[in-house]
Chain A
Amino acid sequence: MDAYFSDALIIGAGLAGERAAIEIASEGFSVNIISLVPPRQSHSNAAQGGVQASLNNTKETADDNWRIHFDDTVKGSDWGADQRVVEKICKLAPELVRQFDYWGAAFSRTKEGKINQRAFGGASKPRCAFASDETGHILLNILDSQVMALKIPIFIRRQLLSLIYTNEEVIGVTALNLVKGTIEVFTAKVIILATGGAGRLYEETTNSRISFGDGCAVALETGLVPVGNPEAIQFHPTCLVPTSILVTEGCRGDGGVLLDKNGREFMGDYCPTMKNPNLASRDVVSRSMMRHIKKNFGVESPYGPHLWLDIKRLGKEHIKTKLSGVDLLCRDYVNVNPIKEYIPVRPSQHYTMFGIKTGESCEVYGLARLFAVGECACWDVHGFNRLGGNSLLETIAAGYTAGQEAGKYLYMENTQNFSDLKIAEEYQKQTKRLEELTKNRGKENVFGVYREIQKTLTEKVGIFRKENELKEAVAKLAILCGKTQRIKLGYRETAANLELQLALRLPGMAKLALCTAQAALLRKESRGSHYREDYPDRDDKNWLKRTLAYFPEENDLPRIEYEPVEITLLPPGDRGYGEKK
């Protein structure tokens, strides 16, 4: 058994994980990072448009401040967010972004040499600091450069299998070494999950092929840790048809517009009171687009109906400098030159607001010494709809916060319930699981079951939801959960086996999907991205609360509980998008 020990262990080498690692290593503690892929391939790399921070450094942003950022975020969340946490990150934002500049991030600049900012959906000021339209790539490179400077070891090509814990205190994890095919144990005094979102639960998603929600599923499988708001899933308005590759909201922030089959701007029909209805929040724009398509204003294509995104009106110079990535993606993937042609777009799954429920300091509910940061967590900055540019902010703010908090733990040196016996038991359990799988007792095809899960969520738990479909989804997913336990592999080696890797994560994914469907069925109101056709209005009297989904091992269905949502500064009111339903 290969075993590694460090003061802190971080699972995931994207922005949130690496930001936490830097915070802890800078204090002189030892840190190990394990990651599914080389760090610069993490999904943070795919963020395009920018990071929100009220920098208040130019004429256009002169009257911006954390409070306006706060109000925008809470309205965007449809009052689902934890206002204490939103306040914290909005206040932290300017300094954290400037720290990236100090580390060397190549932010786009204004003529005066200040960090430039662009407009984004739901943001009442231009507040997104950006690097052309590859902001995630630039931030991740720079953060990873700091990790290299600090010589923090990263164990790549490791798939998280389980958490090891004793007396409700985490002591380590097991992971599959994808190259060798062996199970390894990583132990630490504190552990931070930073494994990213679960977009791959859906058929059509902008997410990378690694966004399986591994950390979230593994935490859920303990039965002790709840997933917060599993019904809260974001669909991004502008994704390429076909492929669902993201086209940044920055396109509309910079002045691009959505058009229908007649070349007409239509967003004003759905948000008539907004000055620029193309920049309503993502949930509102996605719904409006689908309503417009249902009214037969979509453009027919072999890949289903779509609408157009027009950025050619921004001109060649603008596209080549500020939207260069979009330019390349359109030419390479849909054979469209956006300088001269419209871009075919349709909403796709984009972000999981849901995640491992954490408290104000990113500490995980239900297990001590465990933190969760970034998209895998529900710190609850985003509630039921995330604003663009707030995900990058969350990664660095959570990484920073969890890093600080983990450091405090390590300084205190309080005794950990470390147990060699427990580690040996968990290692045995995972080894047995691997053996059982490769013995091929089942009969289900792993890819078949996976596609069924994706299809069920896509068709029945999408942008528009209703009771009978949600009931069908729950029933179907409960059956699929069972099937994930009876997989028959075509290829039985444990090293370098894509089929096995999927088979190992599939039971957890099915459970997560079931939480999503069940929570969506129970929430009888519409809030943010959770839209019930049979309950089209927000219902603060009954539903101003957060879902907590638990999945104990002996259960067939998740146990759903609720907790109150923290309202500190902005009481529930109108979001200000004037959405016509």
Chain B
Amino acid sequence: MRELKVKIARGNKNFSEFSVQEKPRMSVLLLLDEILETQDSSIYYESVCRSSICGSCAVKINGQPKLACKTQTSSLPENITLEPLDFFPLIKDLATDKSRFFLELNRKLETWIHPSKPFSGKDEIMPEEVSAKLYERERCIECGICVSACPAASFTNFMSASGTQKALRFLDDPRNSKEAQEKLIAVLASDEGLWGCHGVGACENFCPKEIPLTRQLAESRREIIKLILRDWFKK
């Protein structure tokens, strides 16, 4: 096993350096635990599920945004540099506050069902493929990687791949009201929405849930154009 040289960002462009004995099946998260518990308890990072389902431990590992829990040290060179995600406000060291961004995004898009009828207490029929599509759209864990990796989301008003996923999820849901769906079409068909994507593809490259975001963004653009054209013809 190797002797890893680890540099951890400590804010204001400062770094602390550590030397750690690599262990079998060591993730970057376990590497951080090792440093915290045996070398320097002042380092700060966040982690919850340690199984890539919560997104809390997203950091930059040798410049690339990744989940610390999922990234094995064996996939990295012996020099490892850890920094906080770009774009989000820093809490301390490797911890950033992504929750405000996602809360504001969800509130702006109103990512909840606006029901068009009261709860009946009975089974409602929904085609299998519709629910499967909603499920696929809802696998996002709000880790923030696709936001921080995307130049359009970082420097323009593009709502990010995660944002478009959310909007599309509630657009595709037949339980959502017509009015709410029309609002979502309007925002998706703008520079904030699908038209704001520059096609860089970093979102899909780095998505820890392997959601095929580039393909979905392209397909969604076609679907939205169809929806807009359909409405024009109706008028």
Task: List residues of chain A with CB under 8 Å of any chain B CB.
Answer: 37-38, 40-41, 43, 45-46, 55, 57, 95, 98-99, 101-104, 106-115, 131-132, 134, 137-138, 141, 145-146, 148-149, 156, 179, 208-210, 242-243, 245-246, 302-303, 321, 325, 328-329, 332-333, 447, 489-491, 493, 495-499
Contacts and interface: CB of A to CB of B under 8 A. Distances in A.
B7 interface: no
Majority SS of interface residues in chain B? loop
A111 B92 contact: no
A497 B42 contact: yes
Contacts of B25: 242-243, 303
Interface in B119-134: 119-128, 130-132, 134
A335 to B, nearest CB: 9
Nearest to A97: B123
A302 to B, nearest CB: 6
Interface residues of B, number: 63
B63 interface: no
Contact of B112 (A43, A112, A146): A146
B178 interface: no
A110 B128 contact: yes
Given A45-B53, A149-B112, A496-B91, A55 B123 contact: yes
Contact of B127 (A113, A325, A328): A113
A115 B123 contact: yes
A83 B146 CA distance: 48
Nearest to A246: B51
A493 B92 CA distance: 12
Given A208-B49, A209-B48, A132 B210 contact: no
B139 A134 contact: yes
A210 B48 contact: yes
Interface in B128-173: 128, 130-132, 134-135, 138-139, 141-142, 170, 173
B52 A145 contact: no
A148 B52 contact: no
A360 to B, nearest CB: 23
A321 B132 contact: yes
Contacts of B24: 302
A146 B111 CA distance: 9
B54 A496 contact: no
A490 B111 contact: no
Interface string B179-200: 0000000000000000000000
B170 to A, nearest CB: 8
A499 B41 contact: yes
B226 interface: no
A145 B112 contact: yes
Contacts of B2: none
A25 B152 CA distance: 38
